[in-house]
Amino acid sequence: MKLVVGLGNPGPRYADTRHNVGVRVIERFARDHGLALDARRFASRFGSGEATHGGARLAVALLAPETFMNLSGEAVVQAVSALGLADVASDLVVVFDDVDLPFGRLRLRPAGGAGGHRGLADVIERLARNDFARLRFGVGRPAPEQDTKGHVLEAFSAAEQVALPDHLARAARALEAALFAGVSAAMNEFNRDPDADPQR
Protein backbone atom coordinates (compact mmCIF):
# COMPACT_ATOMS: atom_id res chain seq x y z
CA MET A 1 0.00 0.00 0.00
CA LYS A 2 1.23 3.46 -0.97
CA LEU A 3 -0.14 6.55 0.77
CA VAL A 4 -0.28 9.85 -1.14
CA VAL A 5 -1.12 12.99 0.82
CA GLY A 6 -2.18 16.27 -0.77
CA LEU A 7 -1.77 19.22 1.59
CA GLY A 8 -4.20 22.14 1.73
CA ASN A 9 -6.78 23.98 3.81
CA PRO A 10 -10.38 22.77 4.23
CA GLY A 11 -13.55 24.27 2.79
CA PRO A 12 -14.63 26.20 -0.31
CA ARG A 13 -12.90 29.41 0.83
CA TYR A 14 -9.51 27.83 0.14
CA ALA A 15 -10.28 25.26 -2.55
CA ASP A 16 -8.91 27.26 -5.49
CA THR A 17 -5.99 28.93 -3.75
CA ARG A 18 -2.33 28.30 -4.50
CA HIS A 19 -1.91 26.71 -1.06
CA ASN A 20 -4.34 23.93 -2.04
CA VAL A 21 -2.59 22.80 -5.19
CA GLY A 22 -1.39 19.64 -3.41
CA VAL A 23 -5.01 18.56 -3.02
CA ARG A 24 -5.72 19.36 -6.65
CA VAL A 25 -2.83 17.18 -7.79
CA ILE A 26 -4.13 14.13 -5.94
CA GLU A 27 -7.66 14.87 -7.19
CA ARG A 28 -6.29 14.79 -10.74
CA PHE A 29 -4.38 11.57 -9.98
CA ALA A 30 -7.59 10.06 -8.56
CA ARG A 31 -9.53 11.01 -11.69
CA ASP A 32 -6.86 9.54 -13.96
CA HIS A 33 -7.00 6.21 -12.11
CA GLY A 34 -10.74 5.94 -11.48
CA LEU A 35 -10.42 6.55 -7.74
CA ALA A 36 -12.54 8.79 -5.52
CA LEU A 37 -11.81 10.92 -2.47
CA ASP A 38 -15.32 10.41 -1.16
CA ALA A 39 -14.79 8.81 2.26
CA ARG A 40 -14.12 10.54 5.58
CA ARG A 41 -11.28 8.98 7.57
CA PHE A 42 -8.42 10.34 9.66
CA ALA A 43 -10.01 13.83 9.76
CA SER A 44 -9.54 13.86 5.99
CA ARG A 45 -11.10 13.19 2.64
CA PHE A 46 -9.92 9.71 1.82
CA GLY A 47 -9.98 7.23 -1.02
CA SER A 48 -8.25 4.00 -1.91
CA GLY A 49 -8.06 1.44 -4.68
CA GLU A 50 -5.77 0.24 -7.43
CA ALA A 51 -3.79 2.53 -9.68
CA THR A 52 -2.55 1.06 -12.96
CA HIS A 53 0.41 1.87 -15.19
CA GLY A 54 1.61 -0.09 -18.19
CA GLY A 55 -0.18 -3.21 -17.04
CA ALA A 56 1.13 -2.96 -13.45
CA ARG A 57 -1.25 -2.52 -10.54
CA LEU A 58 -0.59 -0.86 -7.22
CA ALA A 59 -2.70 -0.43 -4.08
CA VAL A 60 -2.90 3.30 -3.34
CA ALA A 61 -4.57 5.36 -0.61
CA LEU A 62 -5.18 9.09 -1.12
CA LEU A 63 -5.49 11.52 1.79
CA ALA A 64 -6.50 15.20 1.83
CA PRO A 65 -6.39 16.37 5.47
CA GLU A 66 -9.31 18.59 6.47
CA THR A 67 -7.43 20.17 9.32
CA PHE A 68 -5.78 23.47 8.54
CA MET A 69 -2.44 23.32 6.78
CA ASN A 70 -0.21 23.73 9.82
CA LEU A 71 -1.96 20.81 11.56
CA SER A 72 -1.67 18.34 8.69
CA GLY A 73 0.64 15.94 10.51
CA GLU A 74 -1.92 14.39 12.82
CA ALA A 75 -4.03 13.07 9.94
CA VAL A 76 -0.92 11.68 8.26
CA VAL A 77 0.24 9.93 11.43
CA GLN A 78 -3.21 8.38 11.92
CA ALA A 79 -3.31 7.13 8.33
CA VAL A 80 0.24 5.75 8.39
CA SER A 81 -0.57 3.80 11.55
CA ALA A 82 -4.01 2.53 10.53
CA LEU A 83 -2.99 1.53 7.00
CA GLY A 84 0.07 -0.33 8.25
CA LEU A 85 2.55 1.16 5.77
CA ALA A 86 5.49 -1.22 5.52
CA ASP A 87 8.06 1.56 5.21
CA VAL A 88 7.32 5.29 5.32
CA ALA A 89 10.51 5.98 3.35
CA SER A 90 9.23 4.07 0.34
CA ASP A 91 5.44 4.11 0.84
CA LEU A 92 4.57 7.76 1.59
CA VAL A 93 4.47 10.69 -0.83
CA VAL A 94 3.40 14.20 0.25
CA VAL A 95 2.33 16.76 -2.39
CA PHE A 96 2.28 20.50 -1.66
CA ASP A 97 2.83 24.02 -3.01
CA ASP A 98 6.23 25.72 -3.15
CA VAL A 99 6.72 29.49 -3.49
CA ASP A 100 10.41 29.03 -4.28
CA LEU A 101 9.65 27.30 -7.59
CA PRO A 102 8.27 29.07 -10.67
CA PHE A 103 4.63 28.41 -11.42
CA GLY A 104 4.13 24.89 -12.73
CA ARG A 105 7.65 23.61 -12.01
CA LEU A 106 7.85 20.30 -10.17
CA ARG A 107 10.48 19.02 -7.80
CA LEU A 108 10.49 15.47 -6.50
CA ARG A 109 12.78 14.55 -3.61
CA PRO A 110 13.14 11.33 -1.57
CA ALA A 111 13.69 13.20 1.73
CA GLY A 112 14.62 16.58 3.18
CA GLY A 113 13.52 19.46 5.34
CA ALA A 114 10.34 21.52 5.27
CA GLY A 115 11.83 24.49 3.44
CA GLY A 116 9.56 26.86 5.36
CA HIS A 117 6.34 25.03 4.46
CA ARG A 118 4.28 24.77 7.64
CA GLY A 119 2.17 21.84 6.52
CA LEU A 120 5.20 19.76 5.64
CA ALA A 121 6.92 20.88 8.84
CA ASP A 122 4.03 19.51 10.89
CA VAL A 123 4.11 16.20 9.03
CA ILE A 124 7.84 15.89 9.71
CA GLU A 125 7.39 16.79 13.37
CA ARG A 126 4.50 14.36 13.96
CA LEU A 127 6.20 11.49 12.13
CA ALA A 128 9.54 12.34 13.79
CA ARG A 129 11.29 11.68 10.48
CA ASN A 130 11.83 13.37 7.14
CA ASP A 131 12.90 10.44 4.96
CA PHE A 132 9.74 10.25 2.88
CA ALA A 133 9.13 11.35 -0.69
CA ARG A 134 7.64 14.71 -1.52
CA LEU A 135 6.42 16.39 -4.69
CA ARG A 136 6.63 20.17 -4.69
CA PHE A 137 4.46 22.12 -7.15
CA GLY A 138 5.70 25.61 -7.92
CA VAL A 139 3.27 28.47 -7.32
CA GLY A 140 5.78 31.30 -7.84
CA ARG A 141 6.97 34.11 -5.62
CA PRO A 142 4.66 36.87 -4.39
CA ALA A 143 4.90 40.35 -5.83
CA PRO A 144 7.40 42.62 -4.01
CA GLU A 145 4.62 44.43 -2.14
CA GLN A 146 2.82 41.21 -1.10
CA ASP A 147 3.63 38.85 1.74
CA THR A 148 3.92 35.11 1.21
CA LYS A 149 0.80 34.26 3.23
CA GLY A 150 -1.36 36.56 1.13
CA HIS A 151 0.09 35.12 -2.06
CA VAL A 152 -0.55 31.46 -1.26
CA LEU A 153 -4.06 32.15 0.06
CA GLU A 154 -5.11 33.80 -3.19
CA ALA A 155 -6.46 32.11 -6.28
CA PHE A 156 -4.18 31.63 -9.27
CA SER A 157 -4.10 34.50 -11.74
CA ALA A 158 -6.25 34.33 -14.86
CA ALA A 159 -3.24 33.40 -17.00
CA GLU A 160 -2.16 30.74 -14.50
CA GLN A 161 -5.65 29.25 -14.43
CA VAL A 162 -5.48 28.74 -18.19
CA ALA A 163 -2.21 26.82 -17.87
CA LEU A 164 -3.05 25.04 -14.61
CA PRO A 165 -4.86 21.96 -16.01
CA ASP A 166 -1.80 20.97 -18.07
CA HIS A 167 0.48 21.45 -15.07
CA LEU A 168 -1.82 19.41 -12.83
CA ALA A 169 -1.88 16.63 -15.42
CA ARG A 170 1.92 16.64 -15.56
CA ALA A 171 2.13 16.58 -11.75
CA ALA A 172 -0.23 13.59 -11.68
CA ARG A 173 2.04 11.82 -14.17
CA ALA A 174 5.06 12.64 -11.99
CA LEU A 175 3.27 11.18 -9.00
CA GLU A 176 2.42 8.05 -11.00
CA ALA A 177 6.07 7.71 -12.07
CA ALA A 178 7.26 8.07 -8.47
CA LEU A 179 4.86 5.37 -7.29
CA PHE A 180 5.52 2.85 -10.06
CA ALA A 181 9.12 3.53 -11.14
CA GLY A 182 10.55 5.06 -7.99
CA VAL A 183 11.42 8.60 -6.99
CA SER A 184 14.89 8.61 -8.59
CA ALA A 185 13.54 7.69 -12.02
CA ALA A 186 10.69 10.18 -11.69
CA MET A 187 13.11 12.94 -10.67
CA ASN A 188 15.11 12.42 -13.86
CA GLU A 189 11.99 12.81 -15.95
CA PHE A 190 10.04 15.54 -14.16
CA ASN A 191 12.47 17.78 -12.22
CA ARG A 192 12.97 20.12 -15.14
CA ASP A 193 11.36 23.07 -16.84
CA PRO A 194 7.97 21.96 -18.21
CA ASP A 195 8.35 24.42 -21.11
CA ALA A 196 11.27 22.29 -22.26
CA ASP A 197 9.39 19.03 -21.75
CA PRO A 198 7.94 17.62 -24.98
CA GLN A 199 5.57 15.42 -22.95
CA ARG A 200 3.98 18.34 -21.14
Q: What is the pLDDT of residues 109-134, one digit of tens each?
A: 999 999 999 999 999 999 999 999 99
Average pLDDT of span 182-186: 96
Asked if CATH classification 3.30.420.10 holds for the domain at 2-196, the reply, yes or no, is: no
Q: What is the pLDDT of residue 194?
A: 64
Give the domain ranges of the chain.
2-196
Q: What is the pLDDT of residues 27-51, one digit of tens each?
A: 999 999 999 999 999 999 999 999 9
Taking the model in full, what pTM does it have? 0.95
Q: 44-53 and 39-41: which strand pairing?
A: antiparallel
Catalytic residue (choose from 19, 33, 117, 167): 19
Look up 19 and say whether it is catalytic.
Answer: yes
| pLDDT over threshold 50, residue 200 | no
| pLDDT over threshold 60, residue 90 | yes
Q: How confident is the model at residue 192 (pLDDT cuts 50, 70, 90)?
A: confident
